Chain A
Amino acid sequence: MSFLSDVYAGLFYFAAFVLVAGLANKVIQYARTPAPLKIPTTPAPTTKTGVALRMTREVVFFESLFRGSKWTWIFGWMFHFGLFLVTLRHLRYFLDPVPLPIEMIQPFGIYGGIAMVIGLAGLWARRFLVDRVRYITALSDHLILALLITIGLSGLMMRFVVHTDIMRVKEFFQGLYVGQVHLLPADPLLLLHLLLVALLMIIFPYSKLLHAPGLFFSPSRNQVDNPREQRHIAPWAERLEQD
């Protein structure tokens, strides 16, 4: 089975590279593109601290979505918060020794996994049941949901139904840090789970998953409301003034 392990090792190196390089590329692009005008959606904070608080409320609680659509908020928040707990739980495979907080979060990671799948199912149901959402849904929107929900379900299956050899999985990933390929258990569920995770990492910088970095660069959310006090001008607009 070492061939399969090699393939997966290569896949994860590639996926990690695409994820990091692709995201870095996008973040640099966003950061370099000027925002020539002050366009915060008002009422907006008048200080940087206020903006940090507004952004925190958006990132942690999805404040705007809460105001916009309660059902989407419930399912969306369940999914994201669940995914967050699951990610924390999974850190035990990537850190050695496992820090105490990560050990303590383990059972919550399982609840997170369940919440994540329920949330995704709810979000997917909306794509069929609400005519407006059905209209705006592209094939890729279904596929991303299918990808995430399969990742979640295969993970839960391994926890509750068909266990895999977790210690060897951990060895495999620890080995990748130092360029060694350890044997990966050849359990179909595990291989499926890992394949889809790698796929998710690869499509991240090329899909709507860019909403994650995008939010931080959104001028309507991250700008301070102080246009009268402070002159705001983009480099390309400043050049117009020299004519």
Chain B
Amino acid sequence: MAKADFQVPVLKQYPEIPEIEPGVMAHSSPFKSKPQFQAELGFPGELVDDWQSKAIDKMGDLLGRYRSLRVYLDSCVKCGSCTDKCHYYLGTHDPKNMPVGRQDLLRKVYRRHFTLAGRLFPKLVGAEDLTEEVLGDWYSYFHQCSQCRRCSVFCPYGIDTAEISMAAREIMDHIGVGQKYCNEIIGKVYKIGNNLGLPGPALADTLEGLEEDVLDETGVEVKYPLDQEGAEILLVTPSADFFAEPHVDGLIGYGKVFHESGVSWTLSSHASEAANFGMFIGSYENMRRVALRIREAAIKLKVKRIVFGECGHAWRVAYSFLNTLAGPWDFLDPRYPVPQHICEFTYGLIQEGKLNLDKSLNDEMVLTYHDSCNVARASRMGDRPGGQFDIPRAIIRATCNNFYDMDEETIRDRTFCCGGGGGLLTDDLMEIRVKGAQPRVEALNNVMQEKGVTHMAAICAICKSQFTKVLPYYGMDLDQIVSVHQLVSNALVLTGQETDDEDEAADEAA
């Protein structure tokens, strides 16, 4: 079990709604961004003079640009429906981690400066000035939101705390209070092309290694091409797929699927990152700049289609925003949606019967599936609403004999975030990450006890990294989390692949 200098939540058989414990997470805040990281993104390096009025100005600017912010700040009636829905509240018991509690940190300043009632009767309506203390709360608690949108499912007006958190982070960035993790990473994307700062040659090396591994394992020459001009498909995948476990097993799987489909494909060193942290910090401009790399890569490599690898928030930006940010995509093949998810691609091949899948090759695992929050509540796969739930499950069922869902209250659009999304996947936020994982891990634990589940599959780089790190805090193994395309990779018998049976038959013949 991993060591913690904080109390790791106890897993229960039935979920409990905790009593509030005000202020218990006030100390949790991420490292601040250094001036040089801020500058690259177009933000001031440190807290500016006159920051209060600059922050209010920025809030006014955002209120004029985002209907969501304006409507959401006005509409909340404090009904309480969201109060027990956030995994960070359930794991920490801090009422400022209730979605409405978090929103109110911004709403009280909005009311003070932008509403008649707040200007005239601040005490009555809970309006407050933007003081240093309030700013401190903003920095703490708006970095305890993973923008997972679970609250928005249950809100009678669809108020989405993610929109509020993004706005708050954007305001803070504009007065020089940025978060190191997100802003440093976006800088790396601009400079090197991906979140992890892997340069082109390192990528080429890694991919060559994968080709050798697959050849050794299967006897088939599966290619993992980089910057191959004229390929049919550009694959954009989170950079964690290039080396982290279990991510890389997913990447191996994508390559095998492409190989079997016979469609040419390539990765790009220029757009070697699917994730778009511009969304986390609520910066349209940075999100657009990050997204445009994909357009540039698609044009340069003369591809016809764009496919995204397994990544949750990335798929939100890809599915919901890419057309807005970097479209129109009229130069690509109009017969395919832009972009496509790798699960849509694989599912299509399974439907056509083009993949030879031997489910028994995954028999040592009993699986469950974690719906990643941003895939579940901010995107779609396939033609029908809910395809984002059904398609990955269909792939798992086609590749595994043993699959059980977790409790219905904790999956599909009611899924719990892994606890590490939205720019929180950093070691300086380990306490909130571990505590925020509690509702998901609790449901996992229950299905392990009841159904003998051994592994949980996911389609998000952040989920995979987060669970690998936090499961040990709960006494579980870090390798219990697997990629969906790892399952595909295990079960897929490539055309011309030597199987054990054939080996044995050959031995007998000899």
Q: Which of B65, B84, B385 is the one whose CB lies under 8 Å from A34? A: B65
Chain B residues with CB under 8 Å of A228's CB are: 319, 323, 337-339
Cross-chain contact A132 with B65 (CB below 8 angstroms): no
B118 to chain A, nearest CB (A): 9
Q: Can you spell out 29 A-B residue pairs with CB atoms less than 8 angstroms apart?
A: A30-B67, A30-B71, A34-B66, A34-B67, A35-B66, A39-B163, A41-B158, A41-B160, A41-B413, A44-B380, A58-B158, A64-B154, A67-B153, A67-B154, A72-B80, A135-B98, A136-B101, A139-B123, A139-B126, A143-B124, A210-B74, A211-B75, A217-B67, A218-B71, A218-B157, A225-B385, A227-B324, A231-B327, A232-B323
B157 touching A36, Cβ below 8 Å: no
Q: Which of B68, B123, B385 contacts A42 (CB 8 A)?
A: B385
Nearest-neighbor residue (CB-CB) of B17 within chain A = A132
* Cα distance, A133 to B20, chains bound together (Å): 10
> Chain A nearest CB: distance from B148 CB in Å?
11
Q: Which of chain A's residues has its CB closest to B153's CB?
A: A41
B83 touches A (CB below 8 Å): yes
**CB within 8 Å of B: which A30-59 residues:** 30, 33-39, 41-46, 58
B354 to chain A, nearest CB (A): 23
| A65 with B20, Cβ < 8 A, contacts A43-B385, A130-B80, A233-B324 known | no
Residue of A nearest to B378 (CB): A42
Bound CA span A143–B17, Å: 28
Against B, the Cβ 8 Å flags (1 = close, 0 = not) of A219-235 are 11100010111111110
Q: Pick from B85, B121, B149, B380 the residue with the most CB of A within 10 Å.
A: B380
* Residues in B neighbouring A29, C-beta threshold 8 A: 70
* Chain B residues with CB below 8 A from A217, complex form: 67, 71
Tell whether A242 is near chain B: CB-to-CB under 8 Å: no
- Chain A binding surface, main DSSP class: helix
What CA separation (Å) do A215 and B68 show in the bound complex? 11
User: Residue-by-residue, is B358-390 near A (CB-CB < 8 Å gives 1, otherwise 0)?
Assistant: 000000000000000000111110011110110
* A165 sits at the interface (CB 8 A): no
Q: Chain B: which residue is nearest A218 at the CB level? A: B158
Q: Would A135 and B95 count as touching, CB distance under 8 A?
A: yes
Bound form: Cα–Cα A215–B79 in Å: 14
List of A residues within 8 angstroms of B152 by Cβ: 41, 220
**Contact of B117 with A140 in the complex, beta carbons under 8 Å:** yes
Contact between chains at A43 and B388 (CB < 8 Å): yes
A236 to B62, CA, bound (A): 12
Chain B residue numbers with a CB within 8 Å of A214 are: 71-72, 74-75, 157
A65 touches B158 (CB 8 A): no
B78 sits at the interface (CB 8 A): yes
A126 at the interface (CB under 8 A from B): yes
Task: Check A132–B84 contact: CB distance below 8 A.
Answer: yes
Contacts of B22 in A (CB 8 A): 135
Contacts of A221 in B (CB 8 A): 157-158
